Structure 1
Amino acid sequence: MIDHIGLGVGDYDKAKEFYSAALAPLGLSLLTEVVQQDGINKAAGFGRDDEQAFWIGSEGKTTPPMHFAFIAESRAGVDGFYHAAMASGGRDNGAPGLREQYHPNYYAAFVFDPDGHNIEAVCHKPE
């Protein structure tokens, strides 16, 4: 339904480093980078299989803070996301674990990115 989504960030280089590390355990990587020129801001597109679904741009922090949930193929992916995000400047907003209030297999972790956006990784599969 959605082709891609973009998020303005306050510190482009810091955000690019954060998302490169945090999304790697989910199998997502930096696929495209647009250089700043002729009034166009810098931008980085993350995804897999040559499909950039998540973008950050240097136009400044998007307000109000947003919430994004990325799919993890396994609970280990959720754990890896959380630890990589925390090591790359994220702030804890919910350690990896079951969130049974959503459904019995909702395993997720939440971190605030460097701009205060609530970033989540979730696995819907049983162990």
Structure 2
Amino acid sequence: MFDHVGFPCRDVETSVAFYTAVFAPLGMAVGLRIPTGPPGAPEVVGLGADGHPSFWLAPGHAVEQELHIAFRAPDRAAVDAVHDAALAHGAEVLHAPRVWPEYHPGYYGVFLRDPDGHNVEAVHHTFEGVGP
């Protein structure tokens, strides 16, 4: 349904470092940088897998309400790897990886806090009759 989404950031480069480190197990990498002014001005940065920027970080102000986004993981091991990368990066872990049966029996996710206070997640969906 979605083609891309963007988040405002107090410090784009801090957020780029967070997302590319923590979500590297999902293939998250810088796909495109767009200058917003003279050299040294903050950039708008598009992140994604395989060079396709689908998650955009832009200079902005803090928001009063957190945003939430869940990045799809190819398997549970990738969700666990995101958790490990978050710990190594010093990120706040809101909820360690586990099955969330209240969403559906095969919903396996980890919930984290990004540098701007947003709730970000890596999730793998295992449906009945499908392997882990």
CA distance in 1, matches of 2:46, 2:23: 12
Distance 1:42 1:63, change over 3 A: farther
Q: Which has the larger radius of gyration?
A: 2
Alpha-carbon distance in structure 1 between the residues aligned to 2:32 and 2:62:
20
| Deviation >4 Å, runs of 4+ | none
> What residue number does 2:54 align with?
53
Q: Distance in 2 between matches of 1:7 and 1:91?
A: 18
Q: What is the percentage of aligned positions where both structures have the same residue?
A: 37
In the alignment, the residues of structure 1 paired with residue 68 and residue 115 of structure 2 have an alpha-carbon distance, to the nearest angstrom, of 13
Structure 2 residue runs without a partner (length 5+): none
CA positional deviation for 1:41: 4.8
Gaps of 5+ in 1: none
May I ask how many residue pairs the two structures share in their alignment? Answer: 126
Q: Name the amino acid aligned to 2:33.
A: E
The alignment partner of 1:52 has SS state of coil
- What does residue 84 of structure 2 align with? 83
TM-score, structure 1 as length reference: 0.89
Rate the CA distance shift 1:43–1:89 in 2: closer, same or farther, 3 A.
farther
- State the TM-score, normalized to the length of structure 2: 0.86
Is 1:36 aligned to residue 39 of structure 2?
no
